[in-house]
Every structure is written in C-alpha cells, then in structure tokens.
C-alpha cells in the first residue's frame, strides 16, 4: 500500500488562492492520479460498434448531408470513456466510418495525422494518394500517411463505406494537427503496387528505388487473405496466424505511430493475448468472432468494430466451428515502442 498523501483541502485557503494566482499547483494532492501505482489509469473503455446498428445511421447521413457540406461524411466511433466530444477510440486512435455515394468526390487535402482506410462495403471507389489511384475493395488497406495528398472518389453504383483509422488524438494532443486543402490530383501511372509486386524482390536502387517514406500505399485484401490461409496451412494449431502491414523497403511498421495487422482465427480457435501496454482495435473482415476484455464480451459480426484498453488481456475466439475468421487489428505498438513504454505483462 502506498502511504496516503496530503489533500488539497488540508492546505489553508489563502495559500491555495495565492498558488493559483501565481499559476502554481502543489503536486502531492494529485501525485497518485498522474502516477498511479503499478497500473496506469485508462479512460479507454471496451466498446463494441455493431455495423448493423451503425449502417442505417450512416446511410441517413448520406440523405441528410451532401458531400459538399461534409467534405468527409464520417460517423466517428467515439469511446465514451474519453467523452464523445473528444472523438477518440483510445488515447492515440481515432476511428470513423466514412460513406461515399456514387459519383461523389471528397476533395484533395493533406494533413499531419496519419490515416489508413479499411474498406468495409461497396465497389467502385478509389483513393488517390500523391497521384497513385488506389482501388478500394472489401478488406483492402490503403495508407494516407502524414503529409501526403489524398482524395476519395466513387465511380460505382452503390454506397461505399470504409473504416478510417487515424492517430489524430495523439497528433492533436501534440498541438500538431492541421490540414491543407488542395486541388484535384493528376493521376500518375507509376504505382507502389507495381514496384512492390512480390515479397522477396525489391526494385534495385540504381534507377528505381523510390526513397519515398511510404513506398506502398495499397495492400489488397485478396493477397493478404491468401497469405494468411497459406500460413495457417503450414503452421501448428496453437500458433497465432497473423501478418503485420509493413513498409516493404524497410520492414518497419507501415506507419510510425499506429500498427496494423491481419489475423486468421482457425476454426474453433481461442487465442489468449497477454496484457500489453498499447490499446487495440479489432474489426471483423470475415466470419464470426468473440472478443473478451476487462469483463466485457463482444460478439463480432462482419464489419463490426471494437476497442480494448491497454494493460488488459484479450481473448479472441472464432465462433465458426468449420471456417476461419479474419480480423483486422490496429494498435498503438509502434508509438509505445518508440517512446520506450511498450510492455507485455504475464505473457
Ligand atoms: O478521409 O481524409 O475520418 O481527413 C477524418 C479526417 C477521414 C479523410 C476522417 C479525414 C479523413
């Protein structure tokens, strides 16, 4: 037990008032709040956003608000633990479901926060990033990293929905979040998907090495899914079958602050993840899965999303007895590792 410390009320009122007038604060009444013993205080609560409940509200937004009045037509998945107005899923993660209707265009801009798009529904939309036109198909991951121009368009004939994951809360907290509006981009024929066609071969530096901080912007789901199935076929039943979205040039995480992963849960598999410092987000791409964290138990249907605070063990169960389930995961690991605060407990 930590010894109890003096309270603010224990101090004479005139002394407190003088401190306030001088912009001074006594530490000891707040010391346990900012440095809680052994386990950090976490505002992030376990929360489940069911797509079935969210989708009609997003479609309603499509009727209520034209794209010109929204620029980005997004319903934010806000964690009540942080206060809805903060628009945070966790300390560093922002989640939004974005709707683009046929023929609409979300104009070009660039901003300091990093974003990724996980395509949830619909065909025919695209995101152009620094002149590279990235098709958006279900399960594709598209990066729009810090500082890169991006705009979204839609040539299909049905609504397209995707999940935005940004490090906006962190960058905003740093007082470094801002946007620059731009003009429609010219699409260039060169594409990271061409230069990084296959793992194991890289463009030779002599002529073609890009020197771009983000050489690959689209990770097609068809290929990630295939890779997971192959990994599952060639590993033992107890191993977690997971891939990390990386920068193919460096092998480092695809972005600097948040980490992105795709997980295959084998038929009937239960995966016990140890408590780790970063918060996590789980989004079900395909199948049926249960997520248990901090006394909560969520059943994820396809396109459902939930979040889990850091420092809590998480149990994932594939509810399909005879088919794999596929989970997209975002977490704060790259940030925690870079800051030196990453930890795993009791694993
Ligand atoms: O599509 O560029 O959910 O700038 C929030 C901010 C999406 C976007 C969001 C953004 C975008």
Mutating to test ligand 1, I would choose from 96, 125, 148, 154 the residue with most ligand atoms within 8 A of its C-beta, which is 96
DSSP track, 267-307: TT-EEEEPEESS-EEEEEEES-EEEEETTEEEEEPTT-EEE
pLDDT of residue 207: 65
Tell me, using a 6 A CB cutoff, whether residue 165 lines ligand 1.
Answer: no
Which residue has a Cα nearest atom 8 of ligand 1? Answer: 72
Residue nearest to atom 1 of ligand 1 (CA): 72
Residue of 42 and 208 predicted with greater confidence:
42
> In degrees, to the nearest 5, what angle opens at C-alpha 344 toward C-alphas 275 and 232?
80
Q: Does the Cβ of 153 fall within 6 Å of ligand 1?
A: no
Question: What Rg value do the Cα atoms of the chain yield, rounded?
Answer: 22
Residue % of the chain over a pLDDT of 90: 92
pLDDT of residue 202: 86
Q: Which fold has domain 47-196+217-345?
A: Jelly Rolls (2.60.120)
**Ligand 1 within 6 A of 164 CB?**
yes
Q: Are 332 and 310 in contact (CB under 8 A)?
A: yes
CA distance 169 to 335: 13
Query: What element of type H or E holds 76?
Result: strand 74-76
The residues with which 74 forms a beta bridge, in sequence order, are: 98
* pLDDT value, residue 204: 82
- pLDDT value of position 212: 86
**Residue minimizing CA distance to atom 6 of ligand 1:** 72
Please indicate whether residue 42, judged by its CB atom, sits closer than 6 Å to ligand 1.
Answer: no
Question: Is this prediction's pTM over 0.85?
Answer: yes
Measured in Å, residue 164 CA sits from the centre of ligand 1 at 7
- Between the CA of 194 and the centroid of ligand 1 the distance, in Å, is 26
Average pLDDT value for residue range 56-85: 98
- Round to whole Å and give the CA distance between 252 and 247: 6
Residue 347 has pLDDT above 60, yes or no: no
Pocket-testing residue among 88, 99, 108, 115, ligand 1, by greatest number of atoms within 8 A of Cβ: 115
Give the atom of ligand 1 at the shortest distance from the alpha carbon of 144: 2
- Give the tokens for residue 181: 């509006």
Choice from 164, 185, 217 to test ligand 1 binding pocket (greatest atom count within 8 A of CB): 164
Whole-number pLDDT of residue 346: 83
pLDDT at 210: 65
Place of tokens 């912009």: 23
Checking if the pLDDT of 37 tops 80, the result is: yes
Tokens of 294: 């901090």
Distance CA 99, CA 45 (A): 26
The DSSP call for residue 42 is -
* Bridge partners, residue 274, by sequence: none
For 261-298, write each residue's pLDDT tens digit.
Answer: 999 999 999 999 999 999 999 999 999 999 999 999 99
Distance from the alpha carbon of residue 108 to the mean position of ligand 1, in angstroms: 11
Q: Provide the 8-state DSSP code for 30.
A: G
Query: Measured from the CA of 74, which atom of ligand 1 is nearest?
Result: 3
- Give the Å distance between the CA of 255 and the centre of ligand 1: 16
Per the prediction, the chain carries an average pLDDT of: 96
Is the shortest distance between the CB of 98 and ligand 1 below 6 Å? yes
How much is the pLDDT for 208?
A: 59
All structural domains of the chain with their residue ranges: 47-196+217-345
Supply 140's token pair.
Answer: 């594709």
């Amino acid at each position: 037990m930590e010894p109890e410390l003096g309270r603010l009320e224990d101090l004479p009122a005139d002394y407190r008032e003088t401190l306030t007038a001088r912009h001074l604060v006594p530490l000891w009444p707040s010391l346990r709040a900012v440095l809680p013993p052994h386990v950090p205080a976490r505002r992030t609560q376990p929360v489940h956003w069911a797509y079935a409940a969210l989708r009609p509200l997003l479609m309603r937004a499509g009727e209520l608000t034209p794209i010109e009045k929204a620029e980005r037509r997004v319903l934010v998945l806000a964690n009540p633990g942080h206060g809805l107005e903060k628009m945070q899923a966790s300390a560093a993660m922002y989640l939004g479901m974005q709707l683009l209707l046929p023929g609409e265009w979300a104009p070009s801009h660039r901003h300091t926060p990093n974003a990724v798009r996980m395509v949830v529904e619909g065909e025919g939309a695209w995101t152009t990033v620094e002149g590279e036109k990235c098709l958006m198909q279900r399960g594709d991951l598209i990066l729009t990293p810090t500082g890169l121009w991006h705009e979204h368009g839609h040539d299909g004939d049905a609504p397209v929905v995707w999940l935005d994951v940004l490090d906006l809360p962190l960058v905003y907290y740093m007082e470094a979040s801002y946007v620059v509006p731009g003009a429609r981009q010219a699409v260039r024929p060169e594409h990271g998907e061409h230069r990084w066609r296959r793992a194991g071969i890289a463009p030779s530096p002599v002529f073609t090495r890009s020197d771009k901080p983000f050489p690959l912007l689209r990770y097609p789901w068809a290929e990630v899914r295939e890779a997971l199935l192959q990994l599952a076929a060639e590993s033992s039943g107890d191993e977690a079958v997971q891939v990390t979205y990386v920068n193919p040039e460096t092998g480092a995480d695809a972005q600097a602050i948040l980490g992105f992963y795709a997980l295959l849960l084998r038929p009937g598999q239960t995966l016990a993840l140890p408590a780790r410092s970063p918060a996590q987000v789980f989004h079900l791409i395909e199948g049926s899965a249960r997520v248990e964290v901090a006394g909560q138990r969520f059943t994820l249907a396809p396109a459902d999303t939930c979040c889990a605070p850091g420092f809590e063990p998480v149990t994932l169960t594939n509810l399909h007895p005879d088919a794999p389930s596929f989970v997209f995961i975002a977490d704060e690991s790259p940030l925690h590792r870079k800051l030196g605060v990453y930890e795993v407990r009791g694993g």
